[in-house]
Amino acid sequence: MSSRPSRRRQRGNAMVEATLVILPFFAIVLSIIDFGRAFYARTAIQYAVQAGTRYAVTFQTMTGMCQDASIKEVVRRSSVGFLTATDISTKTFIRYYKPDTLAATASNMPGNIVEVSVEGYQFRWIAPLWRTATPMTILARSSDRMEGLPGGSSGPPCR
């Protein structure tokens, strides 16, 4: 009968031990999911600017849009929902450079270098670690040389 009092003292220990194990376990699992989301966001935005650059070098335009607006729309559509219309207008940039001097130019002529970038996109964490809510800033750039125009054709009507 002496074992009964010690068993009484041990009741509830399993619940306490389970709590001490489950809380850190879920914190680790959720942080792995959060870092996976951040990596996916970075990869999706990088893919989007690469798609925009591939579209830009061919001088294509969407119906009723100028070339830069068409490129930004391709970037938005390729971003898998990470970039909104506001992000496209404020954080997406299209720049042209002369190939011999790398000086910036306003011209989207064949042979120039086009750079499509998303700068300053803020990725918000689900569960901020270390008690900080500082978002991760994503920067993605892609550039390529503009192709030549097919014989007898002119470039897009507007940039």
Q: What is the mean pLDDT of each run of 10 residues along the chain (159 residues)?
A: 59 82 87 90 96 92 91 95 92 95 90 94 78 83 89 75
Round to whole Å and give the CA distance between 37 and 103: 37
Per-residue pLDDT at 152: 66
Per-residue pLDDT at 9: 65
Domain locations in the chain as residue ranges:
12-146
Round to whole Å and give the CA distance between 23 and 44: 31
**What angle (nearest 5°) sits at the alpha carbon of residue 91, between those of residues 72 and 39?**
95
Per-residue pLDDT at 6: 61
Per-residue pLDDT at 83: 94
pTM confidence score = 0.81
Round to whole Å and give the CA distance between 87 and 122: 10
Per-residue pLDDT at 17: 86
